[in-house]
Structure 1
Amino acid sequence: MASEKESQRRNSTIKARKSGSAGVKSATVAAVGLIAATTLLAGCGSKDAIPADDAYQGNSGESMAAPSSSESASGAGGADNGAKARDTGKYRDGTYSVDNQPDPSGKAPIDVTVKVAQGDITGVTVVGHTSNDISKKHQAAFIEAIPGVVVGKPLKGLKVDKVAGASWTTQAFNDALDNARSQASVQ
């Protein structure tokens, strides 16, 4: 009888150890998972996020700054049409400027000046405004490449794809082209 009680006690001890061990393992796995998730999510709220250079980034439809525009003195007379004018597809010769055009991040605006003659772009100047080193690199590459992409092309309907790996600067440039078309449109 003593050996039977001892056998039952041993079995109870083994069961307790097994269930205690399983509980410790489960708690350990849960703790490791929680630490991993916390580590992965730690940078998600960073206010200084740097834009990636991939096909999945894009415009959220929001921007932190509204674009301002002005027609330069060399543009064909008339008042500043700005965003109130519509694109008619027929354009006055002249130079049209869009200042402080924000990119989708709202942190790296550009100034764009487009020269138009007989409906074609005859010159383009882009000035970048960013303090972020990565954005500076992308903007500089874009600024160097964009004249070769747009000069000689018709202004009507022109939209450029990602230039020099600068997705957000390209988006800001396309938005500036829309604004310039409105400014240049013959109403």
Structure 2
Amino acid sequence: MASNKDSKQVSTIKAGKSGSAGVKSATVAAVGLIAATTLLAGCGSKDAIPADGAYQGNSGESMAAPSSSASAGGTSSAGGAGNDAKAHDTGKYRDGTYNVDNQPDSSGKDTIDVTVKVAQGDITGVTVVGHTSNDISKKHQAAFIEAIPGVVVGKPLKGLKVDKVAGASWTTQAFNDALANARTQASVQ
């Protein structure tokens, strides 16, 4: 499997070591290098397919697309697993109330339900209900839930992304994902 170039490198390494222990360790190192090179040869292929997981990176899109569009009353609901390939964020939003239920945080253990009220492209109200797995998460979510209206109410929905609120980084990320989902729901297609 080794090319002539690899064989020459192995010979050079062997000649530089003295004794059988040096030859063995140099040979093992050379074989390891050849094996690693062979295994890595397929990495980075142009045909590689990215992972399909909920936390594969932040592409700026929500992890869950809405499962239904807004009704005539302007209210829509989407669970964490909905998927509508046609809907996308257009930057123009219908007035209404948009629900995103069971939005997971990055721990994968806790979720939040978010209701966003939109009028003339601005957030006029927000409600967050937390679902936690332990007391520490409950404390962080409670602090987030108390602080978030003061951070987002009165702000434009378009492009809104909040930084860590009340020390709750995982809940903040879940909230940002829920906002992206709400933007998709509210978008005029």
TM-score interval w.r.t. the shorter chain?
A: 0.5 to 0.7
What TM-score do the two structures reach when normalised by structure 1?
0.60
Q: Per-residue deviation at 1:71?
A: 4.9
Contact 2:67 2:79 in 1 (8 A): no
TM-score normalised over the length of structure 2: 0.59
Change (3 A) 1:70 1:27: same
- SS of the residue corresponding to residue 15 of structure 1 reads helix
Show the counterpart of 2:135. 133
More moved, 140-149 vs 53-62: 53-62
Match of 1:165 in 2: 167
Task: Give the deviation of 1:60 after TM superposition.
Answer: 12
Change in 2 beyond 3 A, CA 1:35/1:78: closer
For residue 145 of structure 1, report the CA deviation from its aligned partner. 0.1
- What is the CA-CA distance between 1:40 and the residue it aligns to? 32
**RMSD (CA atoms):** 11.6
Shift in alpha-carbon separation, 1:62–1:177, aligned structure 2, 3 A: closer
In structure 2, C-alpha distance between the alignment counterparts of 1:101 and 1:6, rounded to whole Å: 53
Deviation at 1:173, TM superposition (A): 0.1
Structure 2 CA distance for partners of 1:128 and 1:172, relative to 1, 3 Å: same
1:53 touches 1:165 (CA, 8 Å); kept in 2?
no
Please tell me whether the aligned partners of residues 71 and 80 of structure 1 are also in contact (alpha carbons under 8 angstroms).
no
Q: Which runs of 4+ in 1 moved over 6 A?
A: 1-7, 9-70, 76-81
Give the distance between the partners of 1:3 and 1:64, measured in 2 at CA.
Answer: 47
1:74 deviates by 3.6
Offset at residue 47 of structure 1 (A): 36
- Counterparts of 2:2 and 2:184, CA distance in 1: 99
Unaligned runs of 5+ residues in structure 1 are: none
Correspondence 1:28-107 to 2 at 5 A: 71=70, 74-75=73-74, 84-107=86-109
Q: CA deviation at 1:131?
A: 2.7
Q: CA deviation at 1:18?
A: 30
SS in 2 for 1:97: strand
- Distance 1:68-1:128 versus aligned 2 partners, 3 A rule: farther
Quote how far apart the aligned CAs of 1:64 are: 11
Q: CA deviation at 1:35?
A: 35
Query: Within 2, Cα distance between the matches of 1:39 and 1:123?
Result: 57
- 2:87/2:185 contact within 8 Å kept: yes
Aligned equivalents of 1:110 and 1:62: distance in 2? 17
Q: Distance in 2 between matches of 1:131 and 1:35?
A: 48
Q: Deviations over 1:144-171 (max 9, x none)?
A: 0000000000000000000000000000
Higher deviation after alignment, 44-53 or 159-168: 44-53
Contact 2:63/2:177 (CA < 8 Å) preserved in 1?
A: no
Number of residue pairs aligned between Structure 1 and Structure 2:
186
% identical aligned pairs = 90
Structure with greater helix percent? 1
| Alpha-carbon spacing, 1:138–1:130, altered in 2? closer, same or farther (3 Å) | same
SS state at 1:50 partner = coil
Cα deviation digits, residues 73-109 of structure 1 (max 9, x gap):
7419999985641101000000000000000111110
Computing the radius of gyration from Cα coordinates, the structure with the larger value is 1
